[in-house]
């Protein structure tokens, strides 16, 4: 009796253990499945299906200008001369493009004249052009540091930098894009974030919504833009993305739904994702998965004897509902609900149900036998057909199996016989490497040991390079009873012939380190050479003055000969211990061992400049050259050798500002100023959005009556960490990147709002930047500010500077006439310091002239300044204009201006910049002092 009960108890115990294991597994599935790559792949496919089934049209606000095959044929060469890009920018700006993103690498110099032409186009675009920066690895190892590739300084100065890094998922598809990342410690936005105006610094990456159809994005060929075939209405007020479309340019990425898309089109779709507020947000599936697991367990344990029709129908209904809900959430709410885990849980639930219905033990045993047989067959096929030979050895290093390709890789005429010892058919170096690894394996026989070995062996056509991966694995007989006939371990060796790769890498490395034309080191070669010594260097960056002009006169061939002659002279000067390199087209470099003092650095720079005192003889022609030099003493305090070169190049930029030959030493303060400028540029938008900008107002009074008649609005920035930022600092930055238009809108809005609380005779004056005047929609901004505040137009005075008149155009006169028609008063600020001619001034619709404070400041003691002021008065009154004197600091200046006929005055004598409420109080004080009659200037100054 007892003997019959024991097997039953054992079976029951195994059944309970099996059920507990199954329950534990299905409860763990909702937490484990989402992290498995296969499940993620299924979820990605389902998301792509939903995106394809719910197509959305692009907004039309972003235009793709494609560098297509037609454009490549039309221009006839690639890379294009940068003059082509400059012309494209000019045409897009003329067509009214809002932002222009050139998805083109401008990190290396081209023909100097073309670089200058492109820089001019960027400057004239007023900073409205976005250029890419990206990070890449110079080395082949994944651990090598990332290096930032950015536009040349000549281009970056007048453009907006944006990150264009691309990250692929594990399956090789691109699904997301960066929003904001730190580049050299500075928050840098990606191109889509800049185009969309999305500035959430807390977000690093976002998913692209591929339901937005690429074919709905307005797309034009570069050729059609340059030829004028595309009308202005297609570009006006829209942002433009310019980039590669042609297959030949290889700027293509694999993506869901559409298969292959160009990089620029992906930037457009990413921008549309932000603009259409289609930021995809994933929903958590774990709670629903746990609930589903509980339902499956309850049904399996309770109703496992019922027909399979009920669970099949219920599962189909639930999955259909889940997919329908997921589709609707994606389409209408941009919510992503991953359902692949639910599908797999249903499958595992049926497995549990079937396990309860049939005797699982026999089925599992049969499955194991079949699986083992299939695995052996698959492994045999893999070993035999492998292109990289696989060698399997027993404990005695005798051959158990090998690929058919083994003889070819080892250059043997006959096949290797099974049972042959490794020492008979393999190179001795491979046998020695295996013996060394076996010695390690003996110390830890239960562990797997692996090692990669490089083999350099003789071959029929020269030296050959093989790469072998040796793996030793412990091996036991079936069931763990005793050792297998193959011994205590088995060895697997995979071989790969890397001869061609090694030769190619060597050639590439040589090309990357030595300049073909001059024989000098390249930038990378110089950095590596300095790093290899482990000591400091004094680095001199040498620019050949007007070398581009020399190339134009003599031709490219003789220009190359001049470069070779300069390189040869520089190499002789460097001697044995010095290093010479070519950093760019006409920029050379000398690095001398040791860190020189300031005096020694000056002496070395003088010696270098002296090299150019003697003309260079080229084909019987004597050519004189001047040079400018940037010098830096490189040490560990300054960073790596690459930083030393960059410091010398920064000093060279300062040296180029002097005429002829000259040199400058690296000044760390200039680097800090540039970093501060980049930081301020990155935080302009945040500062405006967070209310860090505000207005102060400086009083303007009628000199004869002393009555307050107006106030000039002055913009200020109170930074939360840097404190008060000078307008001289942030205005130039905002003018360079085009953000001055946004600041101008803010000033008009706030100034008009403040003036509505002042007496009706008090006006408010707002300065207009030339960039804002030429690029912004000035009339719309002023109309919006006046409409929102209710201020009478004649109480708003706009002040323009003479720099607007550098290029006289009908468009300029049209805008000024439109301002006059609107009823706004127009004043010419800082008269006498700019570019305007008297004949041009007479034709402008002006109301006031403002005399620059430099003349007012000197008029008391300088008769010449008095004459200039009197001449301006005569000119203005002859044209019917009022005159405003700026910078009045004492009563004598005010009295002299009054005697000359100046109507209004402004300066510290009447009040410093103050709040709008203080201006209101000041107006009341002036009214009380004057009492409707004339008052002394001194009394009114004290009131101010």
DSSP state of 256: T
State the helix-helix crossing angle for 523-533 and 499-513, rounded to 10 degrees.
90
Do residues 452 and 395 make contact, with C-beta atoms less than 8 angstroms apart? Answer: no
Alpha helices in 716-797 (DSSP H): 727-737, 740-755, 770-775, 778-789
603 is catalytic: no
Tokens of 272: 């549309």
| Cα–Cα distance for residue pair 813/824, rounded to 1 Å | 15
Q: Which residues contact 805 (CB under 8 A, 6 or more apart)?
A: 812, 834, 835, 836, 840
| Helix (H/G/I), strand (E/B), else coil: 879 | coil
Site of tokens 């004897």: 305
Instruction: Print burial letters for 750-779: b (CB count within 10 Å at least 16), e (below 16).
Output: bbbbbbeebeeebbbbbbbbbbbbbbbebe
Do residues 118 and 86 make contact, with C-beta atoms less than 8 angstroms apart? Answer: yes
Q: Of 101, 106, 207, nearest to 162 (Cα)?
A: 101
Site of tokens 């809005």: 749
**Exposed / middle / buried, residue 858 (Cβ in 10 Å: 0-12, 13-18, 19+):** middle
| Helix (H/G/I), strand (E/B), else coil: 698 | strand
- The CA-CA-CA angle for residues 875, 877, 883, to 5°, reads 90
Q: What are phi and psi of 462, to 5 degrees?
A: 115, -175
| Cα–Cα distance for residue pair 100/240, rounded to 1 Å | 5
Q: What are phi and psi of 785, to 5 degrees?
A: -65, -40
Site of tokens 């008052």: 935
Selected catalytic residue, list 683, 712, 735, 886: 886
| Cα–Cα distance for residue pair 610/604, rounded to 1 Å | 10
| Cα–Cα distance for residue pair 76/941, rounded to 1 Å | 70
Q: Percent helix, strand and coil across the chain, each rounded to 5? A: 50, 20, 30
Site of tokens 């137009």: 793
DSSP state of 602: H
Do residues 501 and 388 make contact, with C-beta atoms less than 8 angstroms apart? Answer: no
Alpha helices in 138-285 (DSSP H): 153-156, 191-196, 222-227, 263-275
| Cα–Cα distance for residue pair 763/796, rounded to 1 Å | 6
Q: Of 450, 475, 449, nearest to 394 (Cα)?
A: 475
DSSP state of 144: S
Give strand ranges (E) for 475-569: 489-497, 537-544
| Helix (H/G/I), strand (E/B), else coil: 723 | strand
Do residues 452 and 467 make contact, with C-beta atoms less than 8 angstroms apart? Answer: yes
Site of tokens 């990190």: 107
| Cα–Cα distance for residue pair 95/751, rounded to 1 Å | 31
Alpha helices in 575-667 (DSSP H): 598-610, 641-655
DSSP state of 211: T
Tokens of 655: 């040296």
Tokens of 621: 């022609």
What are the residue numbers of the active site?
886
């Amino acid at each position: 009796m007892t003997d019959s009960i024991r097997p039953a108890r054992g079976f029951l115990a195994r059944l309970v253990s099996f059920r507990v294991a199954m329950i534990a597994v299905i409860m763990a599935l909702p937490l484990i499945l989402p992290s498995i790559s296969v499940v993620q792949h299924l979820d990605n496919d389902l998301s792509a299906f939903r995106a394809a089934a719910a197509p959305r049209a692009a907004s039309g606000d972003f235009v793709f200008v494609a560098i297509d095959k037609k454009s490549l044929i039309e221009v006839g060469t690639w890379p294009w001369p940068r003059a082509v890009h400059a012309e494209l920018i000019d045409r897009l700006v003329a067509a009214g493009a809002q932002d222009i993103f050139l998805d083109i690498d401008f990190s290396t110099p081209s023909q100097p004249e073309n670089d200058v032409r492109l820089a001019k186009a960027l400057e004239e675009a007023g900073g409205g052009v976005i250029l890419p920066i990206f990070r890449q690895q110079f080395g082949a190892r994944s651990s090598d540091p990332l290096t930032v590739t950015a536009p040349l300084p000549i281009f970056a100065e007048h453009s907006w930098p944006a990150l264009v890094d691309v990250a692929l998922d594990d399956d090789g598809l691109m699904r997301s894009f960066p929003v904001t990342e730190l580049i050299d410690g500075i928050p840098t936005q990606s191109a889509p974030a800049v185009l969309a105006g999305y500035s959430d610094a807390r977000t690093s990456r976002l998913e692209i919504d591929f339901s937005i159809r690429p074919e709905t994005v307005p797309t034009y060929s570069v050729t059609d833009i340059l030829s004028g075939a595309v009308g202005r209405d297609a570009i006006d007020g829209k942002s433009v993305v310019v980039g590669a479309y042609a297959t030949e340019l290889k700027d293509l990425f694999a993506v869901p739904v559409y298969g292959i898309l160009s990089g620029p089109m992906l930037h457009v779709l990413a921008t549309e994702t932000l603009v259409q507020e289609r930021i995809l947000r994933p929903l958590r599936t774990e709670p629903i998965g746990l609930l589903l697991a509980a339902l499956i367990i309850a049904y399996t344990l309770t109703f496992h004897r019922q027909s399979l029709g009920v669970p099949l129908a219920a599962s189909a209904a639930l999955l259909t509902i889940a997919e329908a809900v997921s589709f609707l959430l994606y389409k209408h709410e941009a919510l992503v609900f991953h359902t692949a885990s639910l599908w797999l849980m249903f499958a595992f639930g049926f497995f549990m149900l079937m396990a309860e219905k049939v005797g699982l033990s026999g089925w599992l045993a049969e499955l194991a036998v079949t699986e083992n047989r299939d695995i052996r067959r698959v492994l045999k096929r893999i070993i035999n057909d492998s292109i990289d030979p696989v060698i399997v050895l027993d404990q005695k290093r005798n051959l158990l199996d090998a690929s058919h390709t083994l003889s070819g890789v080892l250059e043997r005429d006959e096949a290797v016989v099974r049972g042959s010892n490794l020492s008979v058919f393999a190179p001795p170096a491979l046998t020695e490497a295996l013996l060394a690894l076996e010695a390690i394996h003996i110390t830890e026989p239960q562990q797997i040991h692996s090692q990669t070995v490089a083999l350099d062996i003789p071959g029929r056509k020269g030296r050959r390079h093989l790469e072998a991966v040796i793996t030793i694995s412990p091996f036991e007989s079936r069931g763990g009873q005793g050792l297998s006939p193959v011994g205590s371990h088995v060895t697997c060796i995979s071989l790969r012939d890397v001869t061609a790769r090694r030769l190619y890498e060597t050639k590439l490395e040589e090309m990357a380190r030595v300049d073909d034309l001059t024989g000098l080191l390249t930038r990378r070669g110089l950095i590596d050479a300095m790093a290899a010594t482990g000591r400091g260097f004094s680095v001199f960056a040498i620019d050949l003055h007007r070398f581009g002009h020399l190339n134009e006169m003599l031709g490219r061939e003789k220009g190359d000969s001049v470069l070779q002659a300069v390189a040869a002279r520089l190499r002789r000067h460097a001697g044995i211990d010095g290093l010479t390199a070519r950093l760019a087209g006409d920029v050379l470099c000398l690095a001398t061992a040791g860190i020189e003092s300031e005096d020694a650095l000056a002496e070395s720079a003088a010696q270098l400049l002296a090299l150019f005192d003697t003309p260079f003889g080229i084909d019987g022609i004597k050519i004189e050259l001047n040079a400018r030099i940037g010098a830096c003493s490189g040490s560990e305090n300054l960073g790596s050798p690459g930083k030393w070169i960059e410091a010398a190049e920064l000093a060279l930029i300062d040296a180029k500002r002097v005429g002829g030959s000259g040199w400058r030493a690296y000044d760390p303060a200039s680097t800090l100023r540039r970093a501060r400028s980049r930081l301020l540029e990155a935080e302009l938008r945040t500062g405006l959005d967070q209310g860090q900008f505000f207005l102060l107002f400086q009083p303007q009074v009628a000199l004869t009556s002393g009555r307050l008649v107006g106030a000039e609005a002055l913009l200020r920035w109170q930074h939360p960490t840097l404190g008060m930022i000078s307008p001289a600092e942030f205005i130039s930055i905002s003018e360079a990147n085009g953000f001055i238009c946004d600041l101008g809108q803010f000033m008009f809005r706030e100034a008009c709002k403040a003036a509505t609380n002042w007496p009706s005779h008090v006006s408010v004056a707002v300065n207009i930047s030339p960039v804002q005047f030429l690029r912004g929609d000035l009339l719309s901004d002023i109309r919006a500010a006046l409409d929102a505040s209710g201020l009478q137009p004649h109480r708003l005075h706009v002040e323009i500077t003479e720099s607007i008149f550098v290029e006289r155009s009908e468009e300029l006169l049209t805008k000024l006439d439109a301002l006059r028609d609107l009823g706004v008063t127009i004043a010419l600020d800082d008269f006498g310091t700019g570019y305007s001619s008297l004949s041009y001034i007479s034709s402008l619709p002006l109301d006031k002239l403002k005399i620059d404070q430099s003349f007012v400041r000197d008029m008391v003691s300088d008769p010449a300044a008095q004459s200039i002021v009197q001449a301006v008065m005569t000119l203005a009154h002859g044209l019917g204009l009022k005159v405003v004197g700026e910078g009045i600091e004492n009563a004598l200046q005010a009295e002299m201006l009054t005697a000359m006929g100046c109507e209004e005055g402004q300066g510290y004598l009447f009040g410093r910049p103050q709040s709008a409420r203080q201006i209101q109080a000041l107006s009341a004080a002036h009214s009380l002092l004057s009492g409707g009659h004339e008052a002394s200037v001194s009394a009114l100054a004290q009131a101010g």
